[in-house]
Amino acid sequence: MLLTIAQALSWAREQLSSHNVSDDGLHDCAAIDSKILLAASLQREVIYLHTWPEKRLDKLQTEIFKHYMSQRILGHPVAYIIGFRDFWTLRLNVSAATLIPRPETELIVEISLSLDLAKCAKVLDLGTGSGAIALALASEKPNWLITGLDKIAEAVILAKDNATIHKLERVNFIQSDWFSAVEHQQFNLIVTNPPYIEDNNRYLLQGDVRFEPSSALTSGSDGLDDIRLIVSQSKHYLAADGWLVIEHGYQQSDPIRDILTAHGFIQIRNEYDLNGFPRVSLGKVEK
């Protein structure tokens, strides 16, 4: 017999709880994941599930939902299963070529928007992935001239697709190994959420990150190889008074302050996530 929405949700929640795949120890993730997967199977928003709990799924919807559930039980991230993730105000397509955008990365967007920049500021997003940061900034600042780059070709294609979906094609996406393909120019703002996890971190063996590419996650034995490179090169691409804004791990702010200081950055400060951890460092280069 075909299940109602309420029955399907309670079945899914029980399945995910008993398989321990949706557990961050803080939230009822089994319930949240069940709702997102069911809503996607019905091609509706989650609110629809609350409005129509007695509605029965049809055969096709049931098949899709069961397929999504079997993927989730194997541990696949919800965003990869349904193909998208909401970030800032945008629904972004995602793929296994790059990181699934995280809510904490919205802090970079908030900080960037709060900086005192020119109306037509030139902005560079290093390691753009799905285009999350570049596109969120473009959606808020129609006059900013924004470039996003990534070394993974599939990520660049994904970012361009997301730009098209949101009619933000004016954002320029290029394939580049950090600055290698960037024409020499001066940016008012360089933002980056680079790989910053230590190569052997045990966190890489747990949960969703097992399915994300190491090219988006790891950066040497202390996780700082890419950040060292980015800081050392950024200073040549920043305009006077230009800012470099970096997302990093919650224990990396001290070494990053040292790296920024060693490369002549000034006005260095940290910004904190909702849990009170320093997750973003920023500074200006002295020119």
DSSP per residue over 39-58, as a string?
HHHTTS-HHHHHH-TTPBP-
Q: With contact defined as beta carbons under 8 Å apart, do 186 and 239 qualify?
A: yes
Residues with Cβ within 8 Å of residue 110, at least 6 apart in sequence: none
Nearer of residues 129 and 223 to ligand SAM, judged by Cβ: 129
* Joined tokens for residue 214: 């190491």
Give the three-state DSSP class for 31: helix
Q: Which helix (H) or strand (E) holds 18?
A: helix 5-19
Nearer of residues 62 and 215 to ligand SAM, judged by Cβ: 215
Q: With contact defined as beta carbons under 8 Å apart, do 128 and 154 qualify?
A: no
Nearer of residues 131 and 283 to ligand SAM, judged by Cβ: 131
Nearer of residues 150 and 198 to ligand SAM, judged by Cβ: 150
Cβ of residue 49: shortest distance to ligand SAM, in angstroms? Answer: 27
Nearer of residues 8 and 244 to ligand SAM, judged by Cβ: 244
Nearer of residues 42 and 97 to ligand SAM, judged by Cβ: 97
Q: How far apart are CA 113 and CA 199, in angstroms?
A: 32
* Joined tokens for residue 16: 């995910």
Cβ of residue 107: shortest distance to ligand SAM, in angstroms? Answer: 11
Nearer of residues 38 and 209 to ligand SAM, judged by Cβ: 209
Sheet holding 278-285, edge to edge: 172-175, 145-150, 122-126, 187-192, 238-247, 278-285, 265-272
Cβ of residue 11: shortest distance to ligand SAM, in angstroms? Answer: 32
* Joined tokens for residue 28: 């009822």
Cross-strand bridge partners of residue 268: none
Cβ of residue 37: shortest distance to ligand SAM, in angstroms? Answer: 21
What is the binding site for ligand SAM (CB under 6 A)? 98-99, 101, 105, 127-130, 132-133, 149-152, 155, 177-178, 193-195, 215-216, 226
Nearer of residues 105 and 252 to ligand SAM, judged by Cβ: 105
Cβ of residue 98: shortest distance to ligand SAM, in angstroms? Answer: 4
Cβ of residue 131: shortest distance to ligand SAM, in angstroms? Answer: 8
Cross-strand bridge partners of residue 92: 85
Cβ of residue 160: shortest distance to ligand SAM, in angstroms? Answer: 14
Question: Distance of alpha carbon 77 from its chain centroid, rounded?
Answer: 13
Count of C-beta atoms within a 10 Å radius of residue 8: 26
Cβ of residue 251: shortest distance to ligand SAM, in angstroms? Answer: 17
Q: How far apart are CA 30 and CA 10, in angstroms?
A: 10
H and E: helices and strands count for the chain? 10, 9
